[in-house]
Structure formats: structure tokens, C-alpha cells
């Protein structure tokens, strides 16, 4: 009897919903789309959010606009910047230094990097999966020694002095930027370098060379050779930047639905003062990363390969009036930021915000993530076998969800898998998860 009432109730609810949908359907839909797009722009960024520092046929050097400019939700990481470097095979990036401490991850390719610091030259061979720290002010140049592969680096930068202003200083001039020597007065340059101005002009004058240039193979080979040799020589550096390969590390989690690799300051001491953890996530096609949140860290993810989508939940305060109460009330509601992801997309999951990432049916989704404020951070899963909520006591479960603890367990532990699981594409999840809850609601109503 009561069941019939419930069913009638839900029918009438459905009916009123559908009739209100018909009303003004077009504009509502448009508004919804517009709102969705606006929401997505709070935490997911594409091509248009980058500024190009260098862009030529031989390579690209670009930087994401300051977070404070991109979104009011990212005030907490305003003094970090995200960079992207891409070079064609057999190229050379002219020596530069920046005002930022940084860590980069080699997304693709292989090459060699040289750093001038502590009165010496430190060179390293770099390859896919390497994480490497570069100190602010170290003069850096690099080459791609591969003949057929691009070299791609994702780089997290933290300008010194708590500022978002990232600055590059180039010793040799190029089409994109002149040499900083040109900034000095001729008198100072002549005196400091003990060179007549005509010769200075030859060295630092107008350059037709690009910042990333094609280089003759023998020069590339010579620089690469130096890098190999330098790694076996005695080490003069107090602060070495020797890279750490993340892909060779044992995964944190792994099953046939995906893989998560993490490097923190215990693996690479150089990450300590940056307070950053670097991770690589590979979600198999058709699968998803279980909903989770980070306790302290901002997760800054760059999609390096594949496609899929992300959902991030954030609370939004809405003000409303109760009819007979003049006082204004506020109510917390949750809004979903949802956006497709493809190669090059950048996504930020702020601390505490429940997030889930899904790979497309066709391709696995690969991401490199910089987790900012990594110290004492925990990644908390809210679905799957290791669901944190299943740690609630029986009584607390019943009080919190208003149904029998057994039912809560069935839903919260609804999955045999943890961390990586079947995505929504496979359709089974809905049936398995929702039915017990629906039944429990019905029996709960019947029992009243
Ligand atoms: C990512 O996973 C797919 C299969 O799920 C695999 O083919 C691919 O090699 C993996 N890539 C990396 C870099 O782990
Ligand atoms: C010039 C140079 O060092 N080229 C090397 C680039 O990398 C490939 C693949 O490892 C080598 O075969 C080339 O000799």
C-alpha cells in the first residue's frame, strides 16, 4: 500500500519535472550549457590559457597564465606557474636563466641538459619519465639528441619571492629576445668585457637565430657526449640536480584498469623545499580513477596523451529567502565542474574537492601531475574497496545515511576494485550501486 503511494509520488514528481522542462526548454538549455562552460573554465584550461614565449618551427616554450588571473578558485597557488617546452628533433635551446625554482618532467623524447651553477657545469642525459630540479638562476640549455622524436617537458615553476611574475634572461640574443648584455650601457659592456663596441655588436647585436634552433648533428653529438662523461666524473656539486626516473619506480597502485606512480621528497630530495610531489597516472581506456580528494595538495594535472573527462565537485553558497522569514539564509550546494580532457588540457583539483577522472572508451588517459603543498597530504578515496567512508562505525553509518549499515556498506564498498575501476561506459555500475539503495529506501518507507 505504502509502496503504491511512493510510486505515485515519484510519478507525479517526474511528471512535474518533465512539464517544467518543456517550458522554456530552449533558453534553459542554452543557459545550462553556458553555465557549464563557465564552470569548467574555473578549473580546466586549454590552449587559450597559455602565453607563448617562443614559438617557431623548431619548438615551443609556453607558460600558463597566472592562476590568480585564470580563476578565483586558485588563489592558493598564485605563486606557482606551469610551463611547457617542446622541441623538434636535433635542436638546441639557447642558454637562459630564470627567476624561478622549478621541477620538470620529461613527457617524451630524450636529450641532454646542461646547467651552469656553483662555478661549474653540470650535464645530464634526460629521458622520458625523468624528474629534474632546476634552481632559480642556474643557466640552462638543452638539446634533443633524438633524430626522430620530439622532446617534451612539463615544468612547474615557482618564482622566487612569492610572486607570480616569471622572468627569463637570455645570455645570447635571439629573434624572440635580445641578449641581456644589450641592456647595459655600451660603456659598462665595453669595460666589463674589455671588448670594443663593434665586436660586441657582432656578438649581441640583432640576431636572426631563434631561441630554439636546428643544430648540426656533430654539435649535438658533442654536447650529448659531454653529458654522458659528466655523469661519471667526480661530483663537485653541493646541490646536485641529477634526475630521478619516475617510470622506473614501483607503482603506488596498479591493476589492469590503471597505474599510479608517485615521487616525493623521499625519492628525490630536491622536491622537499618546493613542497611538491610529482605523479604519473595512466588510466586504461574505458576505466576511471575512483572519486578522491586531496587533503592538502592542489593537484595540477597535464594530460600528456589520450582523452577522457573529469568531474570536480565544489560547494557554492546560494542565498535564498524563506517565505515567512524575512531573514536571509544561506545554503551550501554542490556544483559540478565537468569538462572533456585531451592532450594538453590542464586541470586543477583544489584540496578537499571530490574529483573523478575517466578515460575515454577508445584511448587510455595519461597525465603528469604536480601536487603542490604535498607535505602531509593524503589522497583520500571515497569509492572502491579502500573507500575511507567505510571506516565509519556501524552506528555512525546508520545515523549519517538513515538506512541499515549493511546497505551503506553494500553501496560504499560496491566495488571489488580500488583506485582504478570500470568507468561509467560499462554501465554495470549503475545497476549494482543504485538498486540496493533504492530497495532500501522503499523498504525503509514501508517499514515506517
Ligand atoms: C598506459 O596504459 C596502456 C594500456 O592501458 C599501455 O598500453 C601504455 O603503454 C601505458 N603507458 C604508460 C606510459 O605507462
Ligand atoms: C646526434 C645523436 O646523438 N643522435 C642520437 C639520438 O638518439 C638516437 C636514439 O637513441 C640515437 O640513435 C642517435 O645516435
Q: Which residue has the higher pLDDT, 193 or 300?
A: 300
For the Cβ of 282 lying below 6 angstroms from any atom of ligand 1, the answer is yes
Ligand positioned closest to the Cα atom of 249: 1
Nearest CA to ligand 2 atom 7: 146
For the Cβ of 364 lying below 6 angstroms from any atom of ligand 1, the answer is yes
For the cut 80, the answer to whether the pLDDT of residue 77 exceeds it is yes
* Cα 63 to ligand 1 centre (Å): 27
* Cα 172 to ligand 2 centre (Å): 26
Task: Extract the runs of DSSP E, i.e. beta strands, from 198-257.
Answer: 212-214, 244-245, 253-255
Nearest CA to ligand 2 atom 8: 146
* pLDDT tier for residue 445 given thresholds of 50, 70 and 90: very low
98: three-class secondary structure by DSSP: strand
Q: The pTM is what? A: 0.80
Q: Which of 106, 112, 143, 146 to mutate to test the pocket of ligand 2 (most atoms within 8 A of CB)?
A: 146
* Cα 88 to ligand 2 centre (Å): 13
**DSSP state for residue 371 in the 8-state scheme:** E
For ligand 1, what atom is nearest to the CA of residue 256?
5
The pLDDT value recorded for residue 401 is 85
The pLDDT value recorded for residue 366 is 97
Nearest-10 crossing angle of helices 2-22, 25-40: 90
* Cα 90 to ligand 2 centre (Å): 9
The closest of 334, 332, 280, 343 to 312, measured between CA atoms, is 334
* pLDDT tier for residue 326 given thresholds of 50, 70 and 90: low
For the cut 60, the answer to whether the pLDDT of residue 281 exceeds it is yes
**DSSP state for residue 133 in the 8-state scheme:** E
For the cut 60, the answer to whether the pLDDT of residue 447 exceeds it is no
* pLDDT tier for residue 158 given thresholds of 50, 70 and 90: very high
The pLDDT value recorded for residue 399 is 86
The pLDDT value recorded for residue 342 is 94
CA distances from 176 to 25, 53, 89, 208 (A): 51, 8, 20, 9
Question: CB within 8 A of 187, min separation 6: which ones?
Answer: none
For ligand 2, what atom is nearest to the CA of residue 145?
6
For the cut 90, the answer to whether the pLDDT of residue 2 exceeds it is no
For the cut 90, the answer to whether the pLDDT of residue 103 exceeds it is yes
* pLDDT tier for residue 104 given thresholds of 50, 70 and 90: very high
CA distances from 151 to 169, 233, 244 (A): 22, 26, 17
CA dist 176 and 24 (Å) reads: 52
The closest of 444, 418, 70 to 256, measured between CA atoms, is 418
Question: Is 292 within 8 Å of 329 (Cβ atoms)?
Answer: no
For the Cβ of 145 lying below 6 angstroms from any atom of ligand 2, the answer is yes
* pLDDT tier for residue 324 given thresholds of 50, 70 and 90: low
How confident is the model over 68-92, as a mean pLDDT? 87
Question: What cell numbers appear for 32 in the block?
Answer: 545550462
CA dist 85 and 150 (Å) reads: 10
* Cα 151 to ligand 1 centre (Å): 19
| CB-based burial label for 331 (10 Å; 0-12, 13-18, 19+) | exposed
For the cut 70, the answer to whether the pLDDT of residue 248 exceeds it is yes
The closest of 79, 115, 341 to 230, measured between CA atoms, is 115
Q: Which residue has the higher pLDDT, 319 or 87?
A: 87
Comparing 1-15, 107-121, 249-263, 306-320, which segment has the lowest mean pLDDT? 1-15
CA dist 439 and 445 (Å) reads: 10
> What digits encode the pLDDT tens for the residues 202-240?
777 666 667 777 777 777 777 777 777 776 666 666 667
Question: Is 134 within 8 Å of 128 (Cβ atoms)?
Answer: no
The pLDDT value recorded for residue 3 is 45
For the Cβ of 221 lying below 6 angstroms from any atom of ligand 2, the answer is yes
For ligand 1, what atom is nearest to the CA of residue 366?
1
Nearest CA to ligand 1 atom 1: 282
* Cα 190 to ligand 1 centre (Å): 56
Q: Which residue has the higher pLDDT, 321 or 86?
A: 86
For the Cβ of 284 lying below 6 angstroms from any atom of ligand 1, the answer is yes
> What digits encode the pLDDT tens for the residues 405-441?
888 888 887 778 889 999 888 765 544 444 444 444 4
Nearest CA to ligand 2 atom 4: 145
For the cut 50, the answer to whether the pLDDT of residue 19 exceeds it is no
Question: Is 182 within 8 Å of 173 (Cβ atoms)?
Answer: yes
How many other C-beta atoms are found inside a 10 Å radius of the C-beta of residue 387?
22
For the Cβ of 147 lying below 6 angstroms from any atom of ligand 2, the answer is yes
Q: Which residue has the higher pLDDT, 315 or 7?
A: 315
* Cα 340 to ligand 2 centre (Å): 37
* Cα 282 to ligand 1 centre (Å): 6
* Cα 77 to ligand 2 centre (Å): 39
How confident is the model over 166-182, as a mean pLDDT? 76
Percent of the chain with pLDDT over 70: 81
- DSSP state letters, 4-35: HHHHHHHHHHHHHHHHHHHTTHHHHHHHHHHH
* pLDDT tier for residue 308 given thresholds of 50, 70 and 90: very high
- DSSP state letters, 270-284: GGTTTTEEEEEEEEP
The radius of gyration of the chain's CA atoms, rounded to the nearest angstrom, is 27
Q: Which of 257, 258, 366, 369 to mutate to test the pocket of ligand 1 (most atoms within 8 A of CB)?
A: 366
* Cα 150 to ligand 1 centre (Å): 19
CA dist 232 and 221 (Å) reads: 17
How confident is the model over 57-66, as a mean pLDDT? 88
CA distances from 382 to 262, 293, 415 (A): 20, 8, 11
> What digits encode the pLDDT tens for the residues 354-395?
999 999 999 999 999 999 998 899 999 998 888 888 888 888
Question: What integer best gives the mean pLDDT of the chain?
Answer: 81
Nearest CA to ligand 2 atom 6: 146
Question: What cell numbers appear for 240 in the block?
Answer: 646536485
Q: Which of 247, 261, 282, 363 to mutate to test the pocket of ligand 1 (most atoms within 8 A of CB)?
A: 282
The pLDDT value recorded for residue 400 is 85
* Cα 17 to ligand 2 centre (Å): 64
* Cα 116 to ligand 1 centre (Å): 36
Amino acid at each position: 500500500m505504502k509502496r503504491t503511494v511512493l510510486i505515485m509520488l515519484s510519478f507525479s514528481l517526474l511528471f512535474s519535472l518533465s512539464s517544467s522542462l518543456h517550458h522554456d526548454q530552449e533558453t534553459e538549455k542554452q543557459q545550462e550549457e553556458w553555465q557549464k562552460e563557465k564552470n569548467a573554465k574555473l578549473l580546466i584550461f586549454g590552449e587559450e590559457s597559455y602565453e607563448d614565449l617562443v614559438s617557431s618551427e623548431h619548438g615551443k616554450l609556453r607558460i600558463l597564465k597566472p592562476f590568480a588571473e585564470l580563476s578565483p578558485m586558485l588563489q592558493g597557488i598564485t605563486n606557482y606557474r606551469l610551463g611547457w617546452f617542446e622541441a623538434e628533433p636535433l635542436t638546441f635551446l639557447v642558454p637562459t636563466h630564470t627567476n624561478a625554482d622549478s621541477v620538470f618532467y620529461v613527457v617524451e623524447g630524450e636529450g641532454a641538459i646542461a646547467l651552469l651553477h656553483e662555478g661549474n657545469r653540470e650535464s645530464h642525459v634526460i629521458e622520458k619519465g625523468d624528474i629534474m630540479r632546476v634552481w632559480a638562476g642556474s643557466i640552462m640549455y638543452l638539446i634533443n639528441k633524438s633524430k626522430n622524436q620530439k622532446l617534451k617537458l612539463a615544468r612547474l615553476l615557482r618564482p622566487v619571492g612569492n610572486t607570480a611574475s616569471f622572468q627569463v634572461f637570455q645570455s645570447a640574443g635571439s629573434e624572440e629576445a635580445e641578449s641581456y648584455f644589450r641592456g647595459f650601457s655600451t660603456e659598462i659592456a665595453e669595460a666589463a668585457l674589455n671588448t670594443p663596441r663593434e665586436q660586441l655588436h657582432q656578438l649581441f647585436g640583432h640576431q636572426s637565430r631563434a631561441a630554439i634552433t636546428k643544430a648540426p648533428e656533430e654539435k649535438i653529438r658533442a654536447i650529448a657526449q659531454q653529458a654522458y662523461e659528466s655523469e661519471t666524473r667526480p661530483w663537485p656539486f653541493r646541490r646536485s640536480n641529477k634526475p630521478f626516473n619516475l617510470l622506473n619506480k614501483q607503482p603506488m597502485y596498479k591493476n589492469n584498469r590503471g597505474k599510479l606512480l608517485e615521487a616525493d621528497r623521499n625519492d628525490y630530495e630536491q622536491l622537499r623545499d618546493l613542497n611538491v610531489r610529482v605523479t604519473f597516472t595512466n588510466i586504461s581506456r574505458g576505466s576511471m580513477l575512483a572519486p578522491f580528494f586531496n587533503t592538502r595538495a592542489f593537484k595540477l594535472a597535464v594530460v600528456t596523451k589520450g582523452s577522457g573527462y573529469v568531474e570536480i565537485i565544489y560547494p557554492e553558497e546560494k542565498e535564498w529567502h524563506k517565505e515567512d522569514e524575512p531573514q536571509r539564509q544561506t545554503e551550501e550546494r554542490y556544483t559540478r565542474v565537468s569538462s572533456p580532457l585531451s592532450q594538453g588540457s590542464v586541470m586543477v583539483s583544489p584540496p578537499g574537492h571530490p574529483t573523478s577522472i575517466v578515460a575515454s572508451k577508445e584511448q587510455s588517459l595519461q597525465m603528469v601531475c604536480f601536487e603542490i603543498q604535498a607535505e602531509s597530504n593524503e589522497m583520500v578515496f571515497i569509492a572502491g574497496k579502500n573507500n575511507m567512508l567505510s571506516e565509519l562505525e556501524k552506528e555512525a553509518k546508520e545515523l549519517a545515511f538513515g538506512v541499515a549499515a549493511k546497505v551503506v556498506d553494500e553501496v560504499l564498498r560496491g566495488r571489488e576494485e580500488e583506485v582504478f575501476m570500470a568507468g561509467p561506459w560499462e554501465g554495470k555500475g549503475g545497476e549494482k550501486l543504485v538498486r540496493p539503495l533504492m530497495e532500501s529506501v522503499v523498504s525503509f518507507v514501508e517499514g515506517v
